[in-house]
Amino acid sequence: MRPTLRAKAISVCNDKIEKKGEGVGLSFYAFFANRNDDTELLMEAAEWWIKTHGLDHFEKAIKIRAMIESGQ
């Protein structure tokens, strides 16, 4: 996952956790605006989420943040 996507994902996780608590879940779609203007980046996130890590559609934001911060 490229550094810009990692930074964006961590920021989104932090924001969701701050607003809704540590139990909040999210999907990789949360890292993007409602309109997809970067298909390549969306596919990169989807591959990391689904193919590389086999994650469910919704996962806890704290889990995703920890995975990304650890370099997974």
Range of the domain at 52: 3-69
Residue 1 CB contacts under 8 Å (≥ 6 apart), including other chains: 9, 44, 45, 48, 68
Mean pLDDT of 3-31: 96
pLDDT at 34: 75
- State the Cα torsion 11-14-19-24 to the nearest 10°: 120
CA-to-CA dists, residue 55 to 18, 46, 48, 58, angstroms: 23, 10, 9, 8
Q: Work out the pLDDT band at 3, boundaries 50, 70, 90.
A: very high
| Token pair belonging to 53 | 């890590």
Count: domains in the chain:
1
| Token pair belonging to 72 | 């997974």
pLDDT digit string, tens, across residues 19-62 = 999 999 999 999 998 777 788 999 999 999 999 999 999 999 99
pTM of the model: 0.90
